[in-house]
Structure 1
Amino acid sequence: MESIVNLTPKAIEEVKRIFQAENTSQETGLRLAVIGGGCSGLSYKMDFDQAKEKDKVFEFDGVKVFIDLKSSIYLKGVSLDFEDGLKGKGFVFKNPNATNTCGCGESFSV
């Protein structure tokens, strides 16, 4: 199955670092979701979780990623990166389908 999203090497490295620091189980993965809210109507959500029955499951260099069916529509083509620069550090969603994003990059519309 072709992946809906892409994780950059920096994002994979940071997720692995957090998993190790949190001492997560092998069943634990990164859940990516889209929920209603934020300045532009939709917001990204990231969490550590285990796969649910109807999730789409992908793996990037040992990092499992879980996406529910509803969120998969909004996450198609999204790239998750990790940036560490002058503006701070954190995960950044790059969504080619977003028609509008808020200034902080936390929410978007399609």
Structure 2
Amino acid sequence: MAITLSASAANHVSQFLAKRGKGLGIRLGVKTSGCSGMAYKLEFVDSAIEDDITFESHGVTVFTDAKSLAYLDGTELDYTKEGLNEGFKFNNPNVKNECGCGESFNV
């Protein structure tokens, strides 16, 4: 069981944490939302929660909870730049389909 970051995503997160001046890493999770049922959550972590599950990837600590890990196991978080668009992309092998807007998914 694991969640990983691409080198590009890890570099982007590390730079952002350095600019922020604080933070232990990032938290990835899922929430019920959108037209397909589930949506991703991504936030910076300033303090750990007792039940957190952590992974280390390219020097960045990734935090998640057990419920989210069931949906995110095997996921790689990437950071891509395509033309004028740039941002994080979840490469999740558990996704069966996504909505047309790309904001939600189901497994």
TM-score normalised by L of structure 1: 0.89
Which position in structure 2 is the counterpart of 1:35? 31
Residue 87 of structure 1 and its aligned partner are, at CA, apart by: 5.3
Preserved contact between residue 4 and residue 55 of structure 2 (Cα < 8 Å)? no
List alignment gaps of at least 5 residues for structure 2. none
Residue 103 of structure 1 and its aligned partner are, at CA, apart by: 2.6
Q: Which runs of 4+ in 1 moved over 6 A?
A: none
Which position in structure 2 is the counterpart of 1:83? 80
Q: Deviations over 1:22-69 (max 9, x none)?
A: 1114xx210000000012110000001122111111112321110111
- Where does 1:10-89 land on structure 2 (aligned, <5 Å)? 10-25=8-23, 28-49=24-45, 50-86=47-83, 88-89=85-86
Counterpart of 1:7 in structure 2: which amino acid? L
TM-score normalised by L of structure 2: 0.91
Which position in structure 2 is the counterpart of 1:95? 92
Task: Count the aligned residue pairs.
Answer: 106
Sequence identity of aligned pairs in percent? 43
Preserved contact between residue 82 and residue 89 of structure 1 (Cα < 8 Å)? yes
C-alpha separation in 1, matches of 2:2 and 2:103: 20
